[in-house]
Amino acid sequence: MLAKPPNQVKISDVFDCLEGHVATVDCVEDENYCQRAADCVPRQVWEQIQKAIENVLQSITLQDLVDRAKDNKNVSLSNINGL
């Protein structure tokens, strides 16, 4: 995976390798975890939260992190120079 250019490595791939699949709560991962899972409104909300997290992780690459770090460094340096 890291043999790819940074703009082709998604944070979701890194996360999966290091931590495994994103799991917010047990019942989202395993519908059989609870007998009420099919009708559980909080579980439905947790599913949405998990999908949102997954979407964010899939939308960011290693290159995005590098670029953000550079931008943050430039902002910090400009604040220091302005003192």
pTM of the model: 0.76
The residue with tokens 């994103």 is 22
**Which amino acid is located at 6 in the chain?**
P
Could you report the per-residue pLDDT of 47-65, keeping only the tens digit for each? Answer: 999 999 999 999 999 999 9
Q: CA distances (Å), 62 to each of 6, 27, 42, 47, 66, in order?
A: 5, 31, 33, 26, 6
Of residues 73 and 50, the one with the higher pLDDT is 50
Confidence at residue 65, expressed as pLDDT on a 0 to 100 scale:
93
Confidence at residue 18, expressed as pLDDT on a 0 to 100 scale:
92
pLDDT tier for residue 31 given thresholds of 50, 70 and 90: confident
Whether the Cβ atoms of residue 12 and residue 58 lie closer than 8 Å to each other: yes
The residue with tokens 């439905």 is 44
Quickly count: other Cβ atoms within 10 Å of residue 60's Cβ.
15
